[in-house]
Amino acid sequence: MDTHARTTKWSKGVPEMDVLSMAEKEIVCNKVAKQLFVICVTIGTLILIAIIAGMFEYPWLLDYVTNTADTVNQNLSTAHSQAGRAGGTIASLTHMLLVLAVMLIPTMAVFYIIKKPLLKRETKKLLEEKLAATPSTDDVLTSVYWEFSNQEYMSNDAFTLDIINYIEDNKANWNPNGIAINSRKICIVYEAFITGIEQLRSNETVMDMSYLDEECRIDGVFQTDIKAYLIVDNGKYFTNVELLRKIHNQLAYKDIGNNEFLEGLEYIETDGGTPIYRLVTGS
């Protein structure tokens, strides 16, 4: 099993890992795999030591191990071909089953019992490191395709479903629960055509009020940049789905011209601890 396949398998059933990218999931899984290897080797070694110690304490155990070793050696020594050696090995397994069971069952039980807690612990540590860091200045939402419309979404699940169904590439590129921006509040700047400030929502302001002077009105509307403040629901960070859903709802019933296709968020600056991004759209 390659690293990608193992990561996909192990991350299933661990909702805490949903916020991680595939690369971050692989980091967590690699760390846990190394920890599990050390733990399983340690357990196997301790069991082997216990068996050796038990052979001195209980003569029947020494006799059983000795007879098992003699049987295995005899079966293999009498085989003179590859097929014969294979048959000898299979015949020897019946005598080795008890020893193998004593070695493997506790080891595998511990493996499956502690794997998920270890994944959760390493995920928590990685998230704490990310959240403790300064918010990223990278551009975001650049790998998802979407067209803005007047339909408003109240559910992240319904929004995610429409994004996945929008275009085939989104099925591979869209990680709805991944952390988009590590901040409790952000500011989005976008361009729109409005008839006046009555079209602004309660969390919006016009970047430059001079653009609303009457002489700037063209065909009954003003072309201006609007600043919208968005607050995260979980009080910690924006996931991709929450961020894009709130931006989509923010633009609902707004005239943004022919530029209704998402091209991403471009980082501008951080003002008073609030990251500011420009919404980039295209036609």
Within a domain: 165: yes
Residues 104 and 170 in one domain: no
Per-residue model confidence (pLDDT) at position 134: 67
Q: What is d(CA 264, CA 280) in angstroms, rounded to the nearest whole number?
A: 5
Residues 114 and 168 in one domain: no
Task: Write out the H or E segment, with its range, that includes residue 47.
Answer: helix 22-57
Per-residue model confidence (pLDDT) at position 84: 47
- Nearest Cα to Cα of residue 22 among 208, 168, 172: 172
Q: What is d(CA 119, CA 17) in angstroms, rounded to the nearest whole number?
A: 8
Q: What is d(CA 73, CA 96) in angstroms, rounded to the nearest whole number?
A: 12
Per-residue model confidence (pLDDT) at position 88: 47
Long-range Cβ contacts of 167-171 (<8 Å, 24+ apart): 169/145, 170/144, 170/145
Residues 162 and 275 in one domain: yes
Do the beta carbons of residue 139 and residue 265 sit within 8 Å?
A: yes
Within a domain: 146: no
- Angle at alpha carbon of residue 159, lines to 158 and 165, rounded to 5°: 90
pLDDT mean for each 10 residues of the chain (283 residues):
82 86 88 92 86 74 65 59 51 60 82 91 85 77 94 94 93 88 93 92 91 88 94 90 96 91 94 92 89
pLDDT digits (tens, 9 = 90+) for 88-101: 455 555 556 666 67
Print the domain residue range for 251: 156-282
Within a domain: 99: yes
Residues 161 and 128 in one domain: no
Residues 7 and 62 in one domain: yes
Name the domain boundary from 132, 164, 185.
Answer: 132
Which amino acid, one-letter code, is at 206? Answer: V
Residues 181 and 271 in one domain: yes
Count of structural domains within the chain:
2
